[in-house]
Structure 1
Amino acid sequence: MGAPDFSADLYREITEFAQGTPSWVHEAADVGTDGGLLLFAVLFAVGWWRARGLDARAMGLALVAPFAMVSAYLVSEVSKSFIQEERPCRAVAGAVHIAACPAQGDWSFPSNHATIAAASAAAIVVAWRAMAPLVLPLAALMAFSRVFVGVHYPHDVAAGFLVGVVVAPAAALVLVLAARPLVEALRGVAAGAVLLGPGPVAPRGPGLEVPLGSPRPAAAAAPMVGAAVPMDDASVTMPDVMGGVPPRRGPLR
């Protein structure tokens, strides 16, 4: 497969601009993608820890996030093997590139790095929406860096990003259907509760908080209708009433 002309032209403009940037920018762009992937791995772990205090579905989404990312990567990798687009660092005449050009047979379309970055961000957002302003721009920057260092066309990273943000959330929402009941079951045993946390806690008064779903403590038994109620010596008795004797209010003297 050959690259579209507009993408090849944009590739030349970006890489020529990149060549004129300082050397520290080159180094940061070259290692930035791998560094960003490491950050996403850390966020997967943080998401799991955060979900220990949430319900079973939230924990399930946190657990399946890495698997959703892998699902998107597999779609990208299989697509590359069928499409077989040559890397621009070899295909574009006079191409300049900061990073080393990948080996022959390491195809260009779509970008696996862009797919993994976008899929990681999307899976994290599905499980933890508040992270969207951080992870989505980071994924976009990581995808762009693959063009900046000269190893991908712009349309490669655009397609990879699209695969990531579509496949990963869909995979997460399917996988959580199996993960949720598994989390509920594992939280019922000691080892699972340690690994997955107790789940959300419902307040039941000062010092009486219990995990949601736990059996409620037995309430104090109320007397049944018609049941005899104990009475003390000062209680009114039937003979007293019938005989017109005033009720005794205390012990006899």
Structure 2
Amino acid sequence: MEAPDFSADLYREITEFAEGTPSWLHTVAEVGTDAGLLLFAALFVVGWWRARIGDARAMALALAAPFAVVAAYLVSEVSKTFIEEERPCRAVQGAVHIAACPAPGDWSFPSNHATIAAASAAVIVVAWRAMAPLVLPMAALMAFSRVFVGVHYPHDVAAGFVLGVVVAPLVVVALVVALRPLVESMRGFPLCGTVLGPPSAAAGGAPESGAERPVMPGAGPGRAAGGGSAGRVNEASVTMPDVMGGVTRRDPLP
């Protein structure tokens, strides 16, 4: 596959600009992509830890997120083998590049780094929306850095970014359907509860069954507290003294 002319021209402009920037920025750009992926991995761990006190769906999202990223990466990697676009650091005449040019056969389109970064950001946003202002710009910056260091065309990283934000959320939502009931059932086991959170961690649970409603003095079992007959009082409030004490205690007559 031949790169579009507009993308090759933009690649030249970006890499020529990058060459004139300070050497410390070159180092940051080279190291930043991989460091950003490690930061995403750390956020996955934090998301799992938070999900331990959430409901089963939250934990299912946390568990499915890394698998969704891997799925997006596999789509990107398989696409490379069919498209076979040469790296711009070899294909563009007179190309300048900060990073070493990958070996022949390591194809350019789409960008795996951009795909992984975008997929990671997308699934984190699905599970933890408050992180969107942090992870989405970070993923975009990581994708741009691949052009900045000279190993990808702009259209490579754009395609990888779109692939990541589309494929990963679809996969994570599909996985949650299967994982949610599994999490709910496994939370009852002691060892699994340590990893997945206790059963009582389900957020927004219903009130305990048998909860009593207060009975005002003089209100009979068939009358409401205000004197009206607005339904029967929970029978537990009448029979609980018998259960707890064995006998019903009667107040002495005056």
User: Which residue in 2 is equivalent to 1:54?
Assistant: 54
Aligned-partner Cα distance in 2 for 1:138–1:191: 36
Alignment of 1:185-200 (within 5 A): 185-198=185-198
AA in 1 matched with 2:54? L
Contact 1:29 1:148 in 2 (8 A): yes
Tell me by how many angstroms 1:218 deviates: 7.8
AA in 2 matched with 1:108? S
**Deviation larger for 182-191 or 107-116:** 182-191
AA in 1 matched with 2:189? V
Aligned-partner Cα distance in 1 for 2:179–2:202: 23
Q: Encode CA deviations 1:123-144: one digit per residue, 9 max, x unaligned.
A: 1111111000000000000000
Tell me by how many angstroms 1:212 deviates: 3.7
AA in 1 matched with 2:123? A
- CA gap 1:66/1:230 in 2 versus in 1, 3 angstroms: closer
AA in 2 matched with 1:59? M
User: Which residue in 2 is equivalent to 1:27?
Assistant: 27
Question: Could you list the runs of 5+ residues in structure 2 that have no partner in the other structure?
Answer: 213-235, 241-246
Alignment of 1:219-238 (within 5 A): 220=236, 222-223=238-239, 231=250, 234=253
Contact 1:97 1:149 in 2 (8 A): yes
Aligned-partner Cα distance in 1 for 2:107–2:28: 24
Question: Could you list the runs of 5+ residues in structure 1 that have no partner in the other structure?
Answer: 204-210, 235-248
User: Which residue in 2 is equivalent to 1:241?
Assistant: none
Alignment of 1:114-133 (within 5 A): 114-133=114-133
AA in 2 matched with 1:63? L
Aligned-partner Cα distance in 2 for 1:154–1:145: 10
Tell me by how many angstroms 1:59 deviates: 0.8
Alignment of 1:136-175 (within 5 A): 136-175=136-175
Structure 2 counterpart SS, 1:137: helix
TM-score (norm 1): 0.83
Q: Do residues 74 (structure 1) and 74 (structure 2) align?
A: yes
Aligned-partner Cα distance in 2 for 1:47–1:27: 30
Contact 2:184 2:199 in 1 (8 A): no
Aligned-partner Cα distance in 2 for 1:144–1:202: 40
AA in 1 matched with 2:177? L
Percent identity over paired residues = 73
Aligned-partner Cα distance in 1 for 2:4–2:23: 30
AA in 1 matched with 2:238? A
Q: Encode CA deviations 1:60-108: one digit per residue, 9 max, x unaligned.
A: 0011000010010011001000000000000000000000000000000
AA in 2 matched with 1:65? A
User: Which residue in 1 is equivalent to 2:5?
Assistant: 5
Tell me by how many angstroms 1:197 deviates: 1.3
- CA gap 1:201/1:195 in 2 versus in 1, 3 angstroms: closer
User: Which residue in 1 is equivalent to 2:233?
Assistant: none
- CA gap 1:214/1:42 in 2 versus in 1, 3 angstroms: farther
- CA gap 1:217/1:19 in 2 versus in 1, 3 angstroms: same
Larger radius of gyration: 1
Tell me by how many angstroms 1:113 deviates: 0.3
Tell me by how many angstroms 1:201 deviates: 5.0
